[in-house]
Amino acid sequence: MTRGGECIKKKILIPVLCVLLGGILSLFSFISESKDRTRVTTLERPKIGERSREYELEAVYGEIVNDVTVKVNERDISFEEAMEIFEKSYEEIMRLMKEKNGDLNKVSGDLYLPTTVCEGIPKLEWYSDNVEYIEDNGELTQRVYGELPDEGLVVDMEVRLSVQDYAVWYHIPVYLAEENITKKADMEKLIEDKLLLAEENDKNDHIELPSEVNSIQVSYYEKKEKKWWEALFLGVLAAMVTVLLPKYKAEREDKKRKRELELSFSTIITEFTLLVGAGATTRFAWEKIVRDYRSSGKKKVPYEEMARAYNEMQNGLAEKEAYVQFGKRCGLSPYIRFGNLLEQNLRRGTKGLVEGLEHEVWEAFEERKALIVKLGEEAGTKLLLPMILLLGIVIAISIIPAFLIM
pLDDT digits (tens, 9 = 90+) for 104-129: 887 777 888 888 888 888 888 999 88
What separation in angstroms does the CA of 345 have from each of 105, 350, 362, 394? 105, 5, 19, 63
Question: 3-state class of 203 per DSSP?
Answer: coil
- Nearest alpha carbon to residue 181 among 211, 221, 214, 157: 214
Q: What does the CA dihedral 189, 193, 196, 202 come to, rounded to 10 degrees? A: -140
Per the model's pLDDT, the better-predicted residue between 273 and 39 turns out to be: 273
Q: CA 50 to CA 73: how far, in whole Å?
A: 8
Residue 126 · residue 165 · CB < 8 Å: no
Q: What does the CA dihedral 127, 132, 138, 142 come to, rounded to 10 degrees? A: 170
What is the pLDDT at residue 190? 57
- For residues 56-75, average pLDDT: 74
Q: CA 172 to CA 93: how far, in whole Å?
A: 10
Mean pLDDT lowest for which of 13-17, 381-385, 391-395? 13-17
Residue 117 · residue 86 · CB < 8 Å: no
Q: CA 195 to CA 213: how far, in whole Å?
A: 10
Question: 3-state class of 92 per DSSP?
Answer: helix
What is the pLDDT at residue 4? 47
Mean pLDDT lowest for which of 42-46, 142-146, 348-352, 395-399? 142-146
Residue 330 · residue 302 · CB < 8 Å: yes
Q: CA 344 to CA 324: how far, in whole Å?
A: 10
Helical H segments across 137-210, by residue range: 184-201
Residues 326-377: pLDDT tens digits? 888 888 888 888 888 888 888 877 677 778 888 888 888 888 888 788 878 7
Does position 35 have pLDDT exceeding 60, yes or no? no
Question: 3-state class of 130 per DSSP?
Answer: coil
- For residues 190-214, average pLDDT: 61
Residues 232-262: pLDDT tens digits? 777 788 888 888 888 888 888 888 888 888 8
Q: CA 81 to CA 181: how far, in whole Å?
A: 41
- Nearest alpha carbon to residue 322 among 338, 309, 337: 309
Percent of the chain scoring above 90 in pLDDT:
2
- For residues 87-96, average pLDDT: 90
Q: Residue 66 phi/psi, 5° resolution?
A: -125, 140
Mean pLDDT lowest for which of 156-170, 182-196, 204-218? 182-196
pLDDT category at 204 given cuts 50, 70, 90 is low
Q: Which helix (H) or strand (E) holds 57?
A: strand 52-61
Per the model's pLDDT, the better-predicted residue between 287 and 11 turns out to be: 287
Residues 69-82: pLDDT tens digits? 777 777 788 888 88
